[in-house]
Structure 1
């Protein structure tokens, strides 16, 4: 299978991380979004939304959206429950990641890390801080109760949130304010076959 992505993107990195944890053989194909490499005719056939990551299966079928890819790859493994309630709790955190976490933390990080905080984006960068801290506080509250987001098991919910959380400082968020999150990050980084962002 082929994975199209940028390892510095949290959404792409979480796919790379799961692939490592599960020993999934794949070809990693780097695309540079700043060079519009997701807007080529060839890539738009794979994902008309022009976004990475994209998983291309051996038969040519493609899956986009990072959490959909995660759950596809994790199907039948310890990282994804077959119990309907537990599965829904995983999805609950993944929807939280996409709607309440990523729009603030990932965007602030993109403006700072990729665009080098240009003057015309500083107001937008500042506007993301409150929402990002709110998302981190929600995670902190849960992680004070349980070692992982859905309880005692490490799941794709954790991988989804880990992608951008562990580099949130690059978007201006001081993770030292969140001790339970810091411990959670340590638990994930101690997993066998863990790999970091390259």
Structure 2
């Protein structure tokens, strides 16, 4: 059985839980005390030298960090990964987009506003990041105006990766009402078989 080392309200950790649930893969959850620095201690660093959650413990000797790498591993030969070469590459395209153009702005602003004791200390950083987050949402909205899901109009890990932080973007101050195609897509994701919310 796999073991997921995580922080429950992290979108990156939620991606992995959602994929595991929707694929019906049994797993155990282990909460990592990130605020207490557990991720920097030797037992955790043996699994991930980068000292970040999530980590998927695959066996006694193998562990896989990085949320999108975990998604890719779990989705191989499943309904969450297309088989055609171009479609698979397009899934990767959106995974890279999520980590480079989306998550650094959507997730980070949410973190500063929701999980830090003094969000005002990050006012300049928030002002710098918000336009880039809006740009990512606009790109998504334009694409989803023409597509049901991100790749081949079929639900995949590309949707899981982008759903995780998009659906809580308003906790960072983003107004999703400005992006109706994104809102409609969020509702479609929530209707997929085996869906669970981030708080589950």
Residue matched to 1:147:
148
- Aligned-partner SS, 1:35: coil
- Distance (whole Å) between structure 1 residues aligned to residue 106 and residue 90 of structure 2: 22
Is 1:124 the counterpart of 2:128? The answer is no
Is 1:81 the counterpart of 2:117? The answer is no
CA deviation profile, 1:9-60 (whole Å, cap 9, x unmatched)? 1100010011110111111011132211111110000000001110101343
Offset at 1:151? Answer: 2.8
Offset at 1:116? Answer: 4.3
Superposition TM-score, scaled by structure 2 size: 0.96
CA deviation profile, 1:99-149 (whole Å, cap 9, x unmatched)? 000110010000011104433211111211100000000000000000001
Kept in 1, the 8 Å contact 2:21–2:196? The answer is yes
Residue matched to 1:5:
6
Q: CA RMSD in A?
A: 1.0
- Distance (whole Å) between structure 2 residues aligned to residue 118 and residue 181 of structure 1: 27
- Distance (whole Å) between structure 2 residues aligned to residue 132 and residue 100 of structure 1: 8
Residue matched to 2:19:
18
- Distance (whole Å) between structure 1 residues aligned to residue 105 and residue 118 of structure 2: 15
Residue matched to 1:71:
72
Residue matched to 1:188:
189
- Aligned-partner SS, 1:50: coil
Q: How does 1:54-65 map to 2 (within 5 A)?
A: 54-65=55-66
Q: Report runs of 4+ in structure 1 exceeding 3 Å deviation.
A: none
- Aligned-partner SS, 1:34: coil
- Aligned-partner SS, 1:55: strand
- How many residues of Structure 1 are paired with residues of Structure 2 in the alignment? 198
- Distance (whole Å) between structure 2 residues aligned to residue 151 and residue 117 of structure 1: 43
Superposition TM-score, scaled by structure 1 size: 0.97
Kept in 1, the 8 Å contact 2:87–2:152? The answer is no
- Aligned-partner SS, 2:5: strand
Unaligned runs of 5+ in 1: none
Change (3 A) 1:80 1:43: same
- Distance (whole Å) between structure 1 residues aligned to residue 173 and residue 120 of structure 2: 16
Offset at 1:166? Answer: 0.5
Q: How does 1:25-44 map to 2 (within 5 A)?
A: 25-44=26-45
Unaligned runs of 5+ in 2: none
- Aligned-partner SS, 2:35: helix
- Distance (whole Å) between structure 2 residues aligned to residue 122 and residue 60 of structure 1: 43
